[in-house]
Amino acid sequence: MLRKEQNDLLTQTGPGTPGGRLFRCYWMPALLAGELPENDCPPVRVKILSERLIAFRDSNGRYGLIDEFCAHRGVSLWFGRNEECGLRCAYHGWKYDVSGQCIEIPSEPEASGFFNKIKLKSYPLVARGGVLWTYMGDPAAQPPLPEWEFITVPPAQTYTSKRLQENNWLQAMEGGIDSSHVSFLHRGDLNSDPLFKGAKGNQYNLSDARPVFEVVESPGGLYIGARRNAEDGKYYWRITQWVMPAFTMIAPRGNHPVHGHFWIPIDDETCWAWSFDYHPVRQLTAAELSAMRDGKGIHVRCEPGTYRPAANKDNDYLIDRAAQKAGRTFSGVEGIRTWIARRKTWFRPTTASSWRGIGSSAP
């Protein structure tokens, strides 16, 4: 268990915090491109790293990510009109472009130029691979655009989803790369889920519930190897990558797609869990895409019109005690990625030498 000050150091990511400064060194997924599907479409609320922002797409197709609140009376710009290359506040008509610059104040004489003095906080928002990425750090230190393989392969080879996870990002990520629980929590899914079944490795997860872990440093983070016994005195290894600050990639099973996650803080108690599947050399099949959209594999089915999982803490994750007792699922909760996370400060130390027991949760 971490001391409170250690926990706070790792999980608090608002402006000015050490954790917040770390995340602001990287490009992060902010929205799915489909959330802003066309020019002048309705704006979208975005909360990330405890900052309340508004994303919009202007008349020329440019993306903007700016402070949610108008500089005049603090009205949320989510209620604004997206028109003629700007987002206009519904209260007094102050209008902002994608950089956050105020470009019109109807109640002021245009000759005064007062609008030139008003600028909201803004961050870049860039579309790559069906995802809108933002960088919230020092503009002078902005890194190159992200080059993750899942966003550089052709669109037919990749699929990305996101969901709300109601615990802090580090708790979510720790659970997401813990390979040992696969032998228990997911044992009922390995041979039935369409995105996992049929792989030879499933039998090793089921037959050896005591994986041995080896962790080595990589240029961007860690390689986390989980070793299980196989036939004839051989071992079955699965290696998960963790890349700073919150990216994990999981080895594929057989010819199934590769998959992984980003764990992006919304605030200090909730996060966005981004899930991607892709195949580096072939298109995803219609059956695979249908399964992903239906919440199979590492994806989840959400409440209509939201990104909150349909199985959530308010309905006890739709636990099925009969299925649990019959062994159809070990937990009684359907799905590889339906997460049960009730505690908010449950951590082990996370130095390279102490990441024992941590590996891929959805191998």
Assigned domain for 21 exists: no
In this structure, are 246 and 343 located in the same domain? Answer: yes
In this structure, are 51 and 113 located in the same domain? Answer: yes
Rounded Cα distance, 217 and 311, in Å: 36
Of 104, 128, 146, the position where a domain reaches its end is 146
In this structure, are 88 and 186 located in the same domain? Answer: no
In this structure, are 180 and 317 located in the same domain? Answer: yes
Assigned domain for 350 exists: yes
Mention every residue, 6+ apart, whose C-beta is less than 8 A from residue 64: 54, 55, 56, 57, 58, 87, 96, 97, 98, 99, 100, 122, 125
In this structure, are 214 and 132 located in the same domain? Answer: no
Rounded Cα distance, 317 and 301, in Å: 12
In this structure, are 222 and 327 located in the same domain? Answer: yes
Of 93, 118, 146, the position where a domain reaches its end is 146
In this structure, are 221 and 98 located in the same domain? Answer: no
Where in the sequence is the domain holding 261, given as residue range(s)?
A: 150-354
Percentage of the chain modeled with pLDDT above 90: 69
Assigned domain for 20 exists: no
Note the residue count of the chain: 363
The pLDDT assigned to 337 comes to 57
362/152: higher pLDDT? 152
Assigned domain for 247 exists: yes
pLDDT tens-digit profile of 274-318? 999 999 999 999 999 999 999 999 999 999 999 999 988 888 888
Q: How many domains does one find in the chain?
A: 2
CATH number at residue 257: 3.30.530
Assigned domain for 61 exists: yes
The pLDDT mean for the chain works out to 88
Q: How confident is the model at residue 179 (pLDDT cuts 50, 70, 90)?
A: confident
DSSP string across 161-185: EEEEESS-HHHHHHHHT-GGGGGTT
Assigned domain for 359 exists: no
Rounded Cα distance, 84 and 268, in Å: 37
The pLDDT assigned to 251 comes to 82
In this structure, are 164 and 112 located in the same domain? Answer: no
Q: What is the mean pLDDT of residues 142-161?
A: 97
Place of tokens 């990002």: 169
Assigned domain for 277 exists: yes
The pLDDT assigned to 338 comes to 54
pLDDT tens-digit profile of 74-124? 999 999 999 999 999 999 999 999 999 999 999 998 889 999 999 999 999
Assigned domain for 360 exists: no
Q: What is the mean pLDDT of residues 135-160?
A: 97
CATH number at residue 43: 2.102.10.10
In this structure, are 171 and 86 located in the same domain? Answer: no
In this structure, are 331 and 287 located in the same domain? Answer: yes
In this structure, are 325 and 227 located in the same domain? Answer: yes
Is the full-model pTM beyond 0.85? yes
DSSP string across 183-196: GTTTTTTTTTSTTT
Of 81, 115, 146, the position where a domain reaches its end is 146
In this structure, are 288 and 173 located in the same domain? Answer: yes
